[in-house]
Amino acid sequence: MRILPFDPSSCTEAGKLAFEAVAGPVLVPRAGRRLRYWAAWQDDVVTGFARVTLQDEQNRHVGFTSIEVQPEHRDHGAGTGLLREVLEALAAEGRTTIYFEGVTDGAGWAGRRGLSLVQTTLQLQLDVSGVDSVPVPDGYRLVSWSGHAPEDLIASYIQAKYAIADAPLDGQSIEFPVWTAEKIRTLADSFAARDCEHRVVAAVHEATGDVAGITELEIYASDPEQALQQDTVVTSAHRGHGLGLCLKTAMLAWLIAERPAVRTVRTTNAASNKHMRAINERLGFTMTSMAYNFQAMVRDADQLTAGRRRYPTGSRVRGTIAETPWPAGRTGLFVDLGLGPQGFVDVLHLPLEAESWPEAGRAGWFEVLQHDWHQIRLYPLDAGMRSPRSKPGRWSGEEWAALTAKYPAGSVVTGTVTDVFASNREYSVVFDDFRSSVEYSGAPPLAGETGEFEVTGHSEWTRLVFVRPASAARR
């Protein structure tokens, strides 16, 4: 598997078709935004992709990210490999926060990789057939447009758009746009460039001429049977008159009259926004699924790199048994190492009898065996914590002494790459009768490659030989 940046402007036609077969049509970004893509390739097949939206005005600290992996290719490291590439790119851009919106079946995956759930949303759908009319409240009139906003309303239209800031943010650390008349005009042009019909219905307060509320909807030429209901907001001074329901009803009536090809309207609703949920339910929207928004600090999300830096493979660390997450005797137990990520001891290294497992709070010494994305795999050095099955390698004392003399630290061996594990950023190397794991950053080698590796040390306890590429090119 290879994780590579994808540039639709420079790739071959075959590459673009392979990418779009999984990711859908390459999008044209809105004004003031940039899109970056990565693809996970298995031979000539795209198994997954990542898309990151970078805003250049607001939210300059955030990378808005989407990662999708084909169902038949999941659990093979593609999603984790894509996340790693995105995190490295966001760090290089100076972005401090990674944000995922609308995660559905990947919620468990996101949580296991250190991302925090910050908002739950409802995915709603309305089958368009008809709509009951709702009278416009006294003292207001409705104005609708597609494309550019009327010049006489643009200033108060901007003020109405700011009312979205009153919607529940829950734990999200995102900023709302700062609008100007020029930005509103540029946004309308960008919709047209993306073959998107952007419709707005506004409620205008007749006494002042101000826009009191708005609702917005999008129809893309690529999917003419579906409309996307976007923001609906009412300014604080004009709430309590039923304008929200009136606006959305008017939008649906306009849609039915002029776009009979539209069969469904989709929207999202924050689970915590009970007022808008009630309006959508009254209009006939039904929930199709739950979705979740996740975010994390970029420096904290890459727990694999943090674990390698703090607890190198083969090092001895002191930790405290934190908990047994499953019934004793199954799977293993967690170890608190003081700093993240969390340590983990596999059941195979623990006593045979569950009642002999070390209790929470017991401290001891451990050897670092491996770095997983969200945890450090450990070997207990205290005899009272170990199973009699857990033996220090397959070498006798004399054999081990001979092997360490043959391969002292600093010596160079010729090895062959046998397996590559993208999710852990490591690969296996075989030389003579040894198998050693090598951690990498950047592009991994291919299985079957042969190269020279430098012996960096040995573990007397687990009787492992640690190596790294002799060439800095693979470090």
Distance (Å, rounded) from C-alpha 184 to C-alpha 239?
24
Looking at mean pLDDT, say which of 128-137, 241-250, 298-307 comes out highest: 241-250
Q: Which amino acid is at 208?
A: T
Residue 302, pLDDT score: 64
Distance (Å, rounded) from C-alpha 438 to C-alpha 440?
6
Over residues 214-240, mean pLDDT: 95
Is the CB of residue 245 less than 8 Å from the CB of residue 255?
A: no
Looking at mean pLDDT, say which of 89-93, 168-172, 290-294 comes out highest: 290-294
Residue 114, pLDDT score: 73
- pTM for this predicted structure: 0.62
- Among 32-41, 210-219, 325-334, 444-453, whose mean pLDDT is lowest? 325-334
Percent pLDDT > 70 in the chain is: 95
**What domains are defined for the chain?**
2-95 (3.40.630.30), 126-284 (3.40.630.30), 304-390 (2.40.50.140), 392-475 (2.40.50.140)
Q: How confident is the model at residue 475 (pLDDT cuts 50, 70, 90)?
A: very low
Over residues 129-155, mean pLDDT: 93
CA distances from 208 to 140, 160, 179, 213 (A): 10, 14, 21, 13
> Would you give the distance in Å from CA 254 to the centre of its chain?
37
- Among 216-220, 371-375, 388-392, whose mean pLDDT is lowest? 388-392
